[in-house]
Amino acid sequence: MEEGFAIWANPSSPHAEGRKARAALEDARERVKRALGWEGEVIFTSGASEALVIALGRAKAKRRIVSAVEHDAVLRAAPDAAFFTGAEALGQDTLIAVQHVNSETGTINPVSDMAATLRESGALLLSDCAQSAGKLVLPQADMVVVGAHKFGGPIGIGALLVRDFNLLEPVGGHERGYRQGTENLPGAMGMAAALEADAWATTSGQRAGFAQAVAEQRLIIGEQVDYIFALTHPTMSAQALLIRLDAMGFAVSAGSACSSGTLKKSRVLDAFGVPDETAARTIRVSLGWSTTPEELERFADAWAALT
């Protein structure tokens, strides 16, 4: 990012400084593609939420269908979308959004398994991979959404990965006419560097041990990752848990981090079929790329004491 700030100019400007910035931006774009194993196009955005707005707002499809456990950002970007049931008559005028990893439970959705079937029907598949990019292999979707800060990159930069630009309606502006606003060159370079650093891979052993330590109270919903946990206390409410754990120095949440300030019932847990009484005692614990073994051990001890 320091390199990016040092050479920053508007990458769309034709002067020498602009051309230098453009070269650095395109280099960052290729590095992101290479690191994620993506062979299509990359549109840099301000984060995953903006990428969802572009995908859901400008995909060449008349209908929007989303899974019932999507992040709130998906529902805000497509407020008129129907919920996916699996029994819909699909076709070329349909865009289906299915997240890769759920942000509240860590459940891995079989997006790649769905992709082949949907492609045969002519439907488009969009996958929110904010919680899996840089950690798991990306699914075979037509469009993929990523946010850099989830894998150790800077906040304020993300991307919409598109199999083919022809899947979207352009609106003019930057990023080949698919996004308004000057590109964030330092952010794009930081995003590429974070992916290449692959800091996440170094914490796999720590995560496995932590998963074992909290296994008894974890909500098990399908196949799950080892860095997002829905933990249910036997008797204490989620609100009380948040207060107790915060006082002990742990930052956890109830529901997704973007809406947990309300402490309302989790729409996602409800959609997964979790009983209300259980959901009311469930918190979300997530591990970051910089989480240390000492922090994990300290939380495991604190959780054991509370339960």
Q: In what order do the strands lie in the sheet with 63-66?
A: 41-45, 158-162, 143-147, 124-128, 94-97, 63-66, 82-83
Chain CA centroid to CA 218, Å: 21
User: In whole angstroms, what is the distance from residue 250 CA to residue 288 CA?
Assistant: 13
Evaluate whether 100 touches 113 at the Cβ level (below 8 Å): no
Check residue 72 and give left, alpha or beta (phi > 0: left; psi -120 to 50: alpha): alpha
Q: Give the whole-angstrom CA distance, residue 300 versus residue 287.
A: 13
Cα dist. 90→75, 78, 95, 116, 118 in Å?
Answer: 20, 18, 9, 13, 8
Q: The tokens of 119 are what?
A: 């492609």
Give the containing element (helix H, strand E) for 15: none
Nearest to 112 by CA among 131, 101, 130, 286: 101
Is residue 77 classed exposed, middle or buried when 0-12, 13-18 and 19+ CB atoms within 10 A define those classes?
buried
Enumerate the H helices of 40-184 as residue ranges.
48-58, 72-77, 111-121
Alpha carbon distance, N-terminus to C-terminus of the chain: 43
Active site residues: 258
Half-sphere exposure of 197 (CA within 13 A, CB side): 15
